[in-house]
């Protein structure tokens, strides 16, 4: 059996849908900004800005150290590709 095709959206309907998405995105952006302000205010109130900054910088450095593999890529188990190295020479 043939199924009935859905009617294509008109330009006006598409504009309405996109306007709705835009409004929702603006609302979410405002909420994220509010949460950002609240967190920053809380940290400033407790004088924790410097300790949080140091903590995050330490985590970033640790993550960089953990991901460094001295130029070699780990071969996944069961992979048929030969082991490669990005070191030259």
Is residue 43 in some structural domain? Answer: yes
Q: Which residue has the higher pLDDT, 27 or 66?
A: 27
Is residue 71 in some structural domain? Answer: no
The separation between CA 44 and the C-alpha centre of its own chain, rounded to angstroms, equals 26
Provide the residue range defining the domain that includes 18: 11-55
Is residue 23 in some structural domain? Answer: yes
Residue 87 per-residue DSSP state? -
Hunting for tokens 């593999």 — which residue is that?
Answer: 69
pLDDT tens, residue by residue, 16-45: 999 999 999 999 999 999 999 999 899 889
Is residue 74 in some structural domain? Answer: no
The pLDDT score that the predictor gives to residue 39 is: 92
Q: What is the secondary structure of the chain as a DSSP string?
A: -PPPPPPPPPHHHHHHHHHHHHHHHHHHHHHHHHHHHHHHHHHHHTT-HHHHHHHHHHHHHHHHHHH--TTBPPPPTT--SPP-B----
């Amino acid at each position: 059996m043939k199924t009935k095709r859905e009617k294509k959206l008109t330009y006006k309907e598409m504009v309405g849908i996109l306007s709705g998405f835009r409004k929702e995105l603006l609302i979410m952006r405002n909420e994220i900004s509010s949460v950002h302000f609240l967190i920053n205010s809380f940290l400033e109130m407790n004088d924790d800005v410097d300790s949080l900054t140091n903590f995050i910088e330490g985590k970033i450095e640790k993550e960089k150290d953990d991901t460094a593999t001295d130029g070699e890529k780990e071969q996944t188990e069961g992979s048929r590709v030969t082991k490669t190295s990005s070191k030259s020479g």
